[in-house]
Structure 1
Amino acid sequence: MASKPTPGTTFRTWDDYYIPGTTVLRNKFTRPGQPFGETDPGKLRAMEEAITAIRLRELYEKPIDGIFDYAHMKAIHHHVFQDVYEWAGEERVGPASFMTKDGHAYYPAGPALTAAAEAEYMKLADKSLLRGLELEAFIQALAECWGELNVIHSFREGNTRTQFAFFSQLVEQAGYRINTVQFAPGSALREEFVTARFHSQDTGNNDRLAAVLAQAINPVTPPPSPS
C-alpha cells in the first residue's frame, strides 16, 4: 500500500489525489484542522466552481499565448485550477488501468497517455490548426480532435472546462466563434454534448459530436489561409 502523502508532496498514485481516509480530492482550501484542504465535498465543489469561473473569464478576456500543443493545454489547465489543486496543469498519474466514468473508458495513465496526447497535438499542427477550412469541414475536423483528446482525458479533474477554453481559442484563431453560453450546465445542448462525447468514446465515431458543435459555431471573419 502506498504511503499517505503530506501537503506539498508529489502525486505518484491515484490514491495520492485524495484526502487521507476520504474520497475528497486534496485541495488548497486548508485551515487549522484541515491540512489537506476542505473535506466537505459540497463545499469544495462550490468553492471550486466559483473560483474557476473567475479564472475562465480571465482566459476568455486574455487568452494564454501558445501554439495549441500539449504545453498550451497544460498551461490553460494550470491557470484555471491553480487556486484549487497542487497538481493543476499536470498530467494525471492514475489509474494505471483504463479509467472509467459512467461505464465509459478513458486512457490509462502513463507513457501511452502521454504519447497519445502528443500525437493528437501533432495532428492538429499538421492540419495548420484547422485554418483555411470551410465551416462544415472545420466542424468535422474540430470534432475529431476534440473527441480524441477527450478520450485521452489528460487531467485528474477539470478536463471539460479546460477543453472549452482551449478549443474556444483554437476556434477563434481559425476565424470562427463557439457560443459557449449554449453549453452552460443544465442546458439542453450541454446534455447533448455530454452524450455525444460518450458516444465518441464508445464507438470512435465523432459525427454526433460534430452535429452538436455545429449548433454553436459560426464564422466571424473569412477563415485565414494556412501559412
Structure 2
Amino acid sequence: MSGGWESYFIPGTKVLKNRLGLDDAEELRILEEKLVFLRIAELDSAPVEGAFDYAHFKAIHRHLFQDVYDWAGEERTAPTDQFMIKAGHAYYPAGPEMTKTAEKLFAGLAKDDFLRGLEIDEFVAKLAELWGELNVVHSFREGNTRTQTVFFDALVTAAGYQLNVERLASDSRVRAEFIAARFHSQDTGDNTQLEEVLRGLVGKRAV
C-alpha cells in the first residue's frame, strides 16, 4: 500500500479496502475478527517461524490478515508528516524513522538474548518495556494488538515462561486494565503499570 491515509479506504467511504469485497465497516469488522481468529487457531499446530526479529513480527501480521488486506505484513505508509493520533494517543509517523525505531527495538531484544535466562521479575519488566515501546511504533494500519499478542506469546514461551493469552482475551476486566496500562505507558513513557498487569499474566511454563 502506498499513498496517504485516505488511500487505505474505499473511495468515498471510511471502509478499509479489503479482499472480501465488503463496503460496510461493521460487516468487515465482524468477518475480519472471525478470519483472524481462525488464523490464530492455526498457530497451535503450525506457528509462524522466525528469529523474533522485525521480519518475524511482520510475518505474523501477514499470516493473521492475509485473507482480509492486500497490505498484510507491510508497514503502514501514513501519516508521514505528523504523529498518528488514535483515540487521543500518539504513535510514530510512518516512514524511515518508524522503521529505524522498530529495528532498533528488535536489535535490542536480540542483544538481551530474547529475554532468556532471566528471573521472572526482570523478565516481566523487560517484557513490559518492549511491549510498550513496540506499541508506540504501531507498525500496521490495522491489527497491531493481535499481532503483538501472538508475537509476545511466542517470545514468552521460548524464554521458558507462559503468557495467559486466554485470560487476556476473555476476562474483560483484565483486558481493560491491560489496554489502560498500555495507553499509560504510551502517554507517559512509564511502563510500571503495564508491568503490573503483565505480572498477573506471566508465569512459569508448565513442563
Which TM-score tier does this pair reach, normalised by the shorter chain? over 0.9
Mapped contact 1:11–1:87 kept (Cα < 8 A):
no
Runs of 4+ in 1 over 4 A off after TM superposition: none
1:205 is the counterpart of 2:177: no
For residues 130 and 42 of structure 1, the distance between their equivalents in structure 2, rounded to whole angstroms, comes to 39
Query: How far is the alpha carbon of 1:102 from its aligned partner?
Result: 1.4
SS of equivalent residue, structure 2 residue 203: strand
In structure 2, the partner of 1:42 is 26
Unaligned runs of 5+ in 2: none
Decide which of 156, 168, 179 is 1:183's aligned counterpart.
168
For residues 186 and 43 of structure 1, the distance between their equivalents in structure 2, rounded to whole angstroms, comes to 25
Mapped contact 1:60–1:165 kept (Cα < 8 A):
no
In structure 1, the partner of 2:11 is 20
Query: How far is the alpha carbon of 1:62 from its aligned partner?
Result: 2.2
For residues 126 and 60 of structure 1, the distance between their equivalents in structure 2, rounded to whole angstroms, comes to 28
For residues 99 and 210 of structure 1, the distance between their equivalents in structure 2, rounded to whole angstroms, comes to 25
In structure 2, the partner of 1:35 is none
Distance 1:152 1:185, change over 3 A: farther
Write the mapping of 1:110-189 to structure 2, written as runs, cut at 5 A. Answer: 110-184=95-169, 187-189=172-174
Query: How far is the alpha carbon of 1:221 from its aligned partner?
Result: 6.0
For residues 164 and 176 of structure 1, the distance between their equivalents in structure 2, rounded to whole angstroms, comes to 14
Match for 2:12: what amino acid? G
- Aligned positions, number: 206
Identity of aligned residues (%): 53
Match for 1:73: what amino acid? F
For residues 128 and 54 of structure 2, the distance between their equivalents in structure 1, rounded to whole angstroms, comes to 18
Match for 2:105: what amino acid? E
TM-score (norm 2): 0.96
CA root-mean-square deviation = 1.2
SS of equivalent residue, structure 1 residue 62: coil
Q: String of CA shifts for 1:12-71, please: whole Å, max 9, x gaps.
A: 2211100000011000012xxxxxxx1111110110000000001112332111111100
Unaligned runs of 5+ in 1: 1-9, 31-37, 223-227
TM-score (norm 1): 0.88
Match for 1:201: what amino acid? Q
Match for 2:57: what amino acid? M
For residues 176 and 3 of structure 2, the distance between their equivalents in structure 1, rounded to whole angstroms, comes to 34
Larger Rg: 1
For residues 142 and 96 of structure 2, the distance between their equivalents in structure 1, rounded to whole angstroms, comes to 19
**Structure number having the greater helix percentage:** 2
